[in-house]
Amino acid sequence: MTPPSALPSFLIHYQALVEDALDRLVPPEDQPPEHVHRAMRYTLLAPSKRVRAALALLGADVCGREPRAMGVALAAEFVHASSLILDDLPCMDDAQMRRGQPASHVVFGEATSLLASFALLDLAYRTLTRHYEDHLAARLVTLFSETVGTDGLVGGQADDLLAANREITFERLERIHRLKTGMLFSAAATGGALAAGGLPAQVSALAAYAKNLGLAFQVVDDLLDVEGAESETGKSLRRDEKKTTFVSFSGPLGARELAGELCATATAALAPFGSRADRLRELADFVARRTR
Ligand code: GRG
């Protein structure tokens, strides 16, 4: 049987493809401002599962045109890296480790980390406008801006910070993580489908899949915070003691069950694609069982 931590082979293939393209898009370390470029490359190119890029490529694949999604895949990874740098700052989660190495602010300081984060976000939008024809680029830029803004990652993070040291309802907890994690999963998958010329029904099916998968991903993240090993996850753990999490709400068994249910809801949305969506099903299976 495959060990739970094993990455699906398509994910390993996508990692190499995506990391090579990201590497070529970020200015080299010896180009001024060197320290900002170093910080950008440090977090962006560190080991990552590249799940969001995979969602974009697979979203386009089920619509029949996988290569069209590379711009969306890269934009999703730029946004994600930008958000990780911010999330780890002392004024946010104050985390010391990320992607198997000291967090950006620990190495480069807060000012450089903030600049690197903004510059990565800028590259996300620039990549979309350079990869796609005007009409599609405008649609994708709008999608990503709605994903990042106060109805997306920023909104989720803001409420997550307000909720620290407080008991919150399950509905509020779910909303925070739908915004913080689910929105970018959904933007990646639906953006990939839009880039591939997917039909509205295909885009909606992928949105339903990705938003449930995103929430399942976060539930498992909460489980890993309690049960995981820092050597495997590569990031600071046991950081959630002051937070309401899916584990503090439902206990480890309840959280595991919830993750399984969300993955089942996610994969049910793939029915219209038939066997063409098997790799998206495999990704959901990996998310439910992951240990990193
Ligand atoms: C302006 C971009 C921007 C964001 C501002 C800071 C912030 C608002 C939001 C934080 C969003 C965030 C970091 C959510 C956590 C999502 C999550 C589960 C991260 C871990 O993802 P993995 O495991 O990481 O896919 P790797 O390293 O494998 O890519």
The model's pTM is: 0.96
In short, whether 93's Cβ falls inside 6 Å of ligand 1 is no
Hey, whose CA ends up nearest to atom 17 of ligand 1?
181
Please, are residues 189 and 210 in contact by the beta-carbon 8 Å criterion? yes
User: What are 121-150's pLDDT values in tens digits?
Assistant: 999 999 999 999 999 999 999 999 999 999
78-116 exposure pattern, b = at least 16 Cβ within 10 A, e = fewer: bbbbbbbbbbbbeeebebebbbeebbbbbebeeebbbbb
Give the other-Cβ count within 10 Å of 247's Cβ. Answer: 23
**Residue 152: both structure tokens together:** 């997306």
In short, whether 82's Cβ falls inside 6 Å of ligand 1 is yes
DSSP per-residue codes, 69-115: GHHHHHHHHHHHHHHHHHHHSTTTT--SEETTEE-HHHHHHHHHHHH
User: What are 249-285's pLDDT values in tens digits?
Assistant: 999 999 999 999 999 999 999 999 999 999 999 999 9
Question: What is the sign of the dihedral through the CA atoms of 17, 72, 93 and 164?
Answer: negative
Hey, whose CA ends up nearest to atom 18 of ligand 1?
218
Residues in the chain: 292
Question: Mean pLDDT, 10 residues at a time, over the chain (292 residues)?
Answer: 75 97 98 98 98 98 95 98 98 96 98 98 98 98 98 98 94 97 98 98 98 97 90 80 87 95 98 97 94 85
